Structures are given as C-alpha cells and as structure tokens.
Amino acid sequence: MRVLVLGNAQRPGVKEEAERLLPVVREHTEVVAVDLSQELDLAGIDADICLVLGGDGAILRAARQMGYKQLPVLGVNLGKLGFLADLTPDDLLCCFAGVAKGEYRVTHHLMFECVVEGSSPKRVFLGLNEIAIQSGPPFQMIDLDLIIDGELVSSYAGDGLILSTPIGSTAHNLSAGGPILDQELAAFAITPICPHTLTNRPVVDSADKVFTIVVRRACASTTLISDGQQLVPLAVADRVTVRRAPVRFALVKVAGRSYYQTLRDKLRWGTQPNYRAEPSPDS
C-alpha cells in the first residue's frame, strides 16, 4: 500500500505526532510523500490512501489540496472535535496493520463546485462542507435570491444563507438550525441565517440541480466563505453558482465506528438530558 501523509505542522502537536506515527506507517506501507507545510503539488502523486494528521479543518484543507484527484482519506484527530477525523493517534497505532491489509471500507461523499461572478474576476472553488454568504460590519441585513435550475425559489432577508453538503450538515448548517443529513445522500441543504421572515425555513434539494444565489442588497463586508477557509467579498448583483463537483470525497472507515454513533459521542445527539438524581427519603 502507498500512503500520502498530509497535515499542518503549524498546529500544536502535529509535528510531534507525525514523528511518532510515521515509523509505524512505514513499517507496514510505502510512504510516497509527507507534506506538513501544505505546499506540495499533489497532481503527480499516486497513492492508495491519504493519511491526514489534524482535525476536521485539516481534512477540509486536504480535500482542497487534492483538488480533482481525490484519494481516500484516513483522518487522525489532533484537534478538538474530530467529527471526520475520528481516530486518535493511539487508535491508529492499534488498527493500522489491519488498514495496511485492506481491512477497511471507503465511503463516498458529495463535494461542491462553486463559481463566483460579478464585481470581481471569476473565482472557482472546490469544497466539501458548505458555502456561507454572510453579512459583515456594519452588520446590516442583506437580501439574497435563491434560484434552482433557473427558477426563483425564494428571497431571503437576514444575516445570510448557508448551502451545505451532507458532510457539512453537522457544522455551520446545524448551528444555524439546519437539518442533519445522512453523509452519503446526494443532496444540498439551504439554511437561512437569522432570517427576517419567520416563514423562511431550511430546504433540502437534489444535488443534481444547479443552485444560484444572487446578491440583491449587501453591506460593505458581505462575504462568501467556502469551508470556513476561503473568503471572497461580495457586492450587489454578484452571482454565486453551486453544483455537484465532478469528483467525490472518499473517507476511510475502520470497523467499530458508525455515523450515528459519532453523532451521539461527539455532538451528544439523541442522548437523554442529564437529570439530577432524586433526593433520598432521608435527605
């Protein structure tokens, strides 16, 4: 097995864990490249899996760095939550010999391609989680039109709008009141951020459609944010078009961890409230 190792050495603990884990990885596989500075051109690198050291942000950066040549990603969590990167370094040490023998499965997930056109030169982004169009200082309301396959669906006034993939549905989308989507669905969730109209509610639609957001009113700092990492200023009449990307994100799954288990363990989803114990009769 050939392994590509990615991570961000600027984050605490990444370099140290890389030095601890790489001897074990090399014992079982061929390491074709190590990039902890996020500068390597991956176009010419051929590997079977990509080992990403860091948190979920590191996986988002790795997906963007791999571009239109996606490799199956095995994430090792060195961050806080680790929703996608749900293995600890010690977990990796225990299971990597089995991974090297092919004892894992790969799930495939929707990615998006986003095109921004209008007041600035055309920009194209590949992403995994979501795009968010948000108001900024002086934090006035912005107006946005949502067009799906050429049809005006809704107009929104508020703090912004999120268009999320199923992978991203448990991130900014969930915090804004959007739905949790099964990670392997082919659908987008569109969730308004603090809408001025109470009837504005999240919408889920097929990823086979083309979604266009037109800025009708903007404040000075209205911004498009892709995966929380790439920012583009927006102005009135700018158009943001989102469609299914021609590639899919591939995630390596080892035995013993399911999506709903991760929801329960990481986000405390579906768990009972932590009630206080009933006082004893003698108290």
Predicted confidence (pLDDT) per residue in 243-264, tens digit: 999 999 999 998 876 787 778 8
* Residue 281: inside a domain: no
HSE on the CB side for 208, CA within 13 Å? 1
Q: For residues 202 and 99, state if they share a domain.
A: no
Q: What share of the chain is helix, strand, coil (3-state, %, to 5)?
A: 20, 35, 45
Residue 65 phi/psi, 5° resolution? -65, -35
Position 80 scores a pLDDT of: 76
Q: For residues 20 and 67, state if they share a domain.
A: yes
Q: For residues 167 and 263, state if they share a domain.
A: no
Q: pLDDT digits over 73-96, tens only?
A: 999 998 777 788 878 999 999 999
Q: For residues 128 and 227, state if they share a domain.
A: yes
* Residue 175: inside a domain: yes
The most confident of the ranges 35-39, 94-98, 272-276 is 94-98
Does the pLDDT at position 100 exceed 90? yes
Number of domains in the chain: 2
Q: For residues 121 and 237, state if they share a domain.
A: yes
Work out the average pLDDT over 195-213: 94
Position 103 scores a pLDDT of: 93
56 is catalytic: yes
Q: Which residues contact 13 (CB under 8 A, 6 or more apart)?
A: 78
* Residue 273: inside a domain: no
Q: pLDDT digits over 151-167, tens only?
A: 999 999 999 999 999 99
* Residue 278: inside a domain: no
* Residue 154: inside a domain: yes
What mean pLDDT value characterizes the chain? 92
What CATH number is associated with residue 45?
A: 3.40.50.10330
Q: For residues 225 and 126, state if they share a domain.
A: yes
* CA triple 77-80-81, angle to 5 deg: 75
Work out the average pLDDT over 232-238: 97
Domain span at residue 89?
A: 2-109+248-267
Q: Is 179 helix (H, G, I), strand (E, B) or coil?
A: coil
Work out the average pLDDT over 130-135: 97
Q: For residues 186 and 125, state if they share a domain.
A: yes
Does the pLDDT at position 42 exceed 70? yes
Does the pLDDT at position 241 exceed 90? yes
Does the pLDDT at position 283 exceed 60? no
Higher pLDDT, 90 or 281: 90
Position 102 scores a pLDDT of: 94
Q: Which of 56, 159, 227, 238 is catalytic?
A: 56
What CATH number is associated with residue 116?
A: 2.60.200.30
Q: Which residue has the tokens 């498009």?
A: 224
* Residue 276: inside a domain: no
Position 278 scores a pLDDT of: 60
Position 84 scores a pLDDT of: 85
* Residue 165: inside a domain: yes
Q: For residues 73 and 117, state if they share a domain.
A: no
Q: For residues 76 and 137, state if they share a domain.
A: no
Position 120 scores a pLDDT of: 86
Tokens of 11: 């984050």
Nearest to 86, CA basis, from 62, 52, 50: 52
Q: How big is the chain, counted in residues?
A: 283
Work out the average pLDDT over 218-247: 96
Work out the average pLDDT over 21-34: 96
**pTM, 2 dp:** 0.90
Q: Give me the residues paired with residue 193 across strands.
A: 160
